[in-house]
Amino acid sequence: MIIERIDLTNFGPFHGQHDLTFPGDGTGVHLIRGDNGQGKTSIQRAILWGLYGQVLDRRGQPIRVSSFLNRTALRDNLYQFGVTIHFNHEGAKWSLSRRTSSRTHADRSYEAALQLDVVRDGHVQPNPEQAVRRLIPQDVSRFFFFDGEMLRDYEELLDQSSTSMTLLRNSIEHVLGIPYLKTARDDAVQIQRRLEGERSRMIRRLGGEDYEELVRDFQATSDRIAGRDREVRTIDEQIAHLEFESQEKKRRLTEISAVRTLAEESARLEREIAREQSDWDTKAAQQRALLTDLYKTVLVRGAADIIAHLEAKHEAAMNKYDKKQQLIGRLEDTRKAIAAQKCRLCGAILEPAKLRTLSAEANDLEEEIKKLTEVPEPNLEYDHHVSRLRALQGRLITQDAFEGLDSGMEATGQRLAALKAKLADVTDKLSGVDEEEPRRLAMEIARFEREQGRLSGVKSELVNQNVDDLDLKSNLEARIASIDRDELNILGRKMALVKPIIEILEEAISVYRDEQREKVGTIASDIFRELRTKSSFSKLVINDQFGLNIITTEGLKLDRAEWRSAGEEEVVALSLVGALNRSAQIKAPVFMDTPFGRLDTKHGERILTFLPKMSEQVVLLVTDREFRKQDEKFLAGHIKSDHTVVHKGENEGSSIIAT
Amino acid sequence: MQVEELFEVLKRINHEKGFPVDDDLLKRIIALVVLHPLDEDRSKCQDEIKELIEQHSGLKGHDH
């Protein structure tokens, strides 16, 4: 199915007549832009309403039909709206037109007045609703018309209640064509019963009262077997349902038990985090100290020269000081000798000539002392400065010390981050645990198992009864077959042919389901590898319920709790939807409403690159924020039309214009 | 395409079981069901399948 044009009349924000054409043969990627609230979603809803006369909200509840009427039309008391979809399907031109016109603005009136016409290659289809269901059944439309939120909900569905899960699994089986085999098997079973009825009637006709009892016995036996077969089939479904429920509860219980164990782990992690944090704090303080003293390291490199310079200066000053002290001593002695006019050593009287020499010598000494007095006195703080500089020389910051500290901090930081991530994960899991849940789950599991046991017992009894009846039936059949009549022989051959047909169809259901599941899993994995952003994610595996798990390159199987992120969820869901579209027995366009709202740029770009391969016709309903001008390159060559939905005001409503 | 894919499985199982049914009959049955998949189609579809079975029972398939 490829949509070529959509005509809207008073639908949602579109007042009057509006149309949206997908040019060419409609294939390729089509953009419909528009800010929130302009009417993009209404286009998608118009298609779904056109197809099914009903649009479901995210909770699966029907949206009120009266809400589709345009407000201006409502104000003008014009209670009519409709949609026409022109499309191509398997080489034929189709048009589907659904409309309603009522005298009052009430859901019931609109629904009562609903009209649908389906035309194929100019021929009006006698039963239009059936024609639509043949084209694209409503329960599989979720794989073709969805929004970003629904895509995310899709993965949620795979996790949640078994009722939703069963519905989803049925939809998946439907889109893959598995019900065709089930229907064929049921048809064959019905035909078998009809043939048996015919044979009974024929025997009565041929044999009169002689065969009456034989036929009655055969028919009764056959009815009993068929009745028990139906019961066994129902019981099988109930057992499968209980088994699934039980598995789900067990999975949950294991999850809780695992989380409980992790609660202890949580306490241990908290202690470890505290220890690592303290280590990190110590190292950080050391680093701060190093950084504080860094200027000293720079300055102290010149300390040796300064010390040498100061020492030389100090020594020179001390030499002068010592010399002056000696001279002062000598001057005092000379002056004493002149004053006493006697030799200080022997006491001999000094001659006048000697006294004059001593006076001259004293004058010279005074002169020399005077010269030395002009030299500054030694700086007594010198020792203090030098010792400080020497101390600093011993505390130089080496590169090794700094780098060692830095790498130590980095390692501690990494350990801390890993521990905190683990703790967050554990805390997250713990927060969802209800104290009473394990006990409740255990009771429910026990109840399911009891019920499974009871049903198995009933089934086994029915099967045993059927074994006896099958023997009886075969005995009766042999007796009937011994009736030598050509017509009966022919009927017998027909019945004999139906039996293996039923067996083949029965076997084909499970074989085909398994093969399709494997095929979907392989395609989903291929798509996933194309879309993933983490190279450590290797592939997807698909389970019996079509649920998905990520497998890492190390072979680890991750469940949703372990890869939870909006981006990854959407990628996984899109991989499955993409695989289903490729494997589907039903071909239809893919409409994606605001698909990138929750995605980061990288995921958005990868998904854009993949979209053209998802379906022959892809329609993207996007806001400018999620699809930017530069994103067009990711769809290079595939964009076949570009429209914008603009809301022009309360009266005029919205319009679809070429971008 | 969808008929072919479903038929391939039926054919394979039929062969594994030693050809109890003519392949062509299986193909025509599944083609009829694919063409008439709805509940409303069942009666008509079963009539047509029955007719096919009647035709084939006179030909080949289970006379071994």
Task: Give the tens place of pLDDT for each residue, A466-523.
Answer: 999 999 988 887 877 776 667 777 888 888 899 999 999 999 999 998 888 888 888 8
- The CA distance from B27 to the nearest CA of chain A, in Å, is 11
Q: Which of A47, A46, A51 is nearest to A133 (CA)?
A: A51
Q: What is the pTM of this model?
A: 0.61
C-alpha pair distances (Å), A302 with each of A1, A299, A393, B23: 85, 6, 10, 100
Count of the separate structural domains present in chain B: 1
Strands A92-101 and A80-89: antiparallel
**Nearest beta carbon to residue B9 from set A130, A190, A515:** A515
In this model, does residue A610 exceed pLDDT 80? yes
- The answer to whether residue B64 is domain-embedded is no
Q: Which of A574, A573, A534 is nearest to A556 (CA)?
A: A534
**Nearest beta carbon to residue A585 from set B2, B29, B46:** B2
Flag the least confident range among A111-125, A441-455, A485-499: A485-499
Q: What is the DSSP string of A597-649?
A: TT--HHHHHHHHHHGGGT-SEEEEEE-TTTS-GGGGGGGTTTEEEEEEEEE--
In this model, does residue B17 exceed pLDDT 80? yes
Strands A80-89 and A2-11: antiparallel
What is the DSSP secondary structure assignment for residue A153, as one 8-state letter?
H
Cross-strand partners of A145: A591
Average pLDDT over residues A612-628: 87
Q: What's residue B59's pLDDT?
A: 47
Q: Which of A193, A186, A182 is nearest to A225 (CA)?
A: A193
Q: What's residue A146's pLDDT?
A: 79
CA–CA separation, A207 and A201 (whole Å): 10
CA–CA separation, B6 and A26 (whole Å): 29
- Give the 3-state secondary structure of residue A551: strand
Q: What's residue A226's pLDDT?
A: 86
Selection from A190-204, A499-513, A587-601, A623-637 with the highest mean pLDDT: A499-513
- Give the 3-state secondary structure of residue A1: coil
Task: Give the tens place of pLDDT for each residue, A212-254.
Answer: 777 778 888 988 998 898 899 889 888 888 888 887 788 777 7
Per-residue buried b or exposed e for A70-105, using 16+ beta carbons within 10 Å of the residue's own CB: bebbeeeebbebbbbbbbbbeeeebbbbbbbebeee
Q: Which of A10, A78, A102, A40 is nearest to A653 (CA)?
A: A10
Report which secondary-structure segment, H or E, holds A505. Answer: helix A486-531
Interface of A with B (CB under 8 A): 127, 130, 133-134, 177, 179-181, 183-184, 187-188, 190-191, 194-195, 490, 493-494, 496-498, 500-501, 503-505, 507-508, 511-512, 515, 585
Average pLDDT over residues A408-421: 86
In this model, does residue A303 exceed pLDDT 80? no
Q: Which of A162, A157, A159 is nearest to A241 (CA)?
A: A162
Q: What's residue B60's pLDDT?
A: 43
User: Structure tokens of A377?
Assistant: 């006195």
Flag the least confident range among A18-22, A341-345, A382-386, B18-22: A382-386
Amino acid at A291: L
Q: What's residue A309's pLDDT?
A: 82
pLDDT band at A80 (very low <50, low <70, confident <90, very high): very high
Q: What's residue B33's pLDDT?
A: 94
In this model, does residue A171 exceed pLDDT 80? no
In this model, does residue B64 exceed pLDDT 50? no
Report which secondary-structure segment, H or E, holds A391. Answer: helix A382-393
- The answer to whether residue B40 is domain-embedded is yes
Q: What's residue A484's pLDDT?
A: 62
Q: What's residue A10's pLDDT?
A: 95
Q: Are the C-beta atoms of A269 and A429 separated by less than 8 Å?
A: no
Interface of B with A (CB under 8 A): 2, 5-6, 9-10, 12-14, 17, 20-21, 25-26, 29-30, 33-34, 37-38, 40, 42, 45-46, 49-50, 53-54, 56-58, 61-63
Average pLDDT over residues B34-60: 87
Per CB-CB distance under 8 Å, the chain A contacts of B53 are 191, 494, 497-498, 501
pLDDT band at A12 (very low <50, low <70, confident <90, very high): very high
- The answer to whether residue B35 is domain-embedded is yes
- The answer to whether residue B21 is domain-embedded is yes
Task: Give the tens place of pLDDT for each residue, A29-65.
Answer: 999 998 888 888 899 999 999 999 999 876 678 899 9
Q: What's residue A88's pLDDT?
A: 94
Q: Are the C-beta atoms of A606 and A531 separated by less than 8 Å?
A: yes
Selection from A106-115, A414-423, A581-590 with the highest mean pLDDT: A106-115
Q: Which of A36, A195, A180 is nearest to B26 (CA)?
A: A180
Binary contact (A194, B46; C-beta < 8 A): yes
Flag the least confident range among A32-46, A307-321, A371-385: A371-385
In this model, does residue A462 exceed pLDDT 70? yes
- The answer to whether residue B26 is domain-embedded is yes
- The answer to whether residue B49 is domain-embedded is yes
CA–CA separation, A576 and A257 (whole Å): 30
CA–CA separation, A574 and A146 (whole Å): 11
Q: Which residues make Cβ contacts (< 8 Å) with residue A369, sequence separation at least 6? A: A324, A327, A328, A331
Quick one: what percent of chain A has pLDDT higher than 90? 27
Q: Which domain holds residue B39?
A: 2-57
In this model, does residue A607 exceed pLDDT 70? yes
CA–CA separation, A431 and A583 (whole Å): 40
- The answer to whether residue B62 is domain-embedded is no
CA–CA separation, A524 and A157 (whole Å): 18
- The answer to whether residue B53 is domain-embedded is yes
Strand positions, DSSP E, A454-563: 537-542, 548-552, 557-558
State which residue of chain A sits closest to B16, comparing Cα positions: A504
User: Structure tokens of A288?
Assistant: 């701060």
Burial of B37 (C-beta count, 10 Å sphere; 0-12/13-18/19+): buried
In this model, does residue A141 exceed pLDDT 90? no
User: Structure tokens of A124?
Assistant: 């009006």
In this model, does residue A425 exceed pLDDT 80? no
More confident residue, A308 or A557: A308
Q: What's residue A375's pLDDT?
A: 54
In this model, does residue A260 exceed pLDDT 70? no
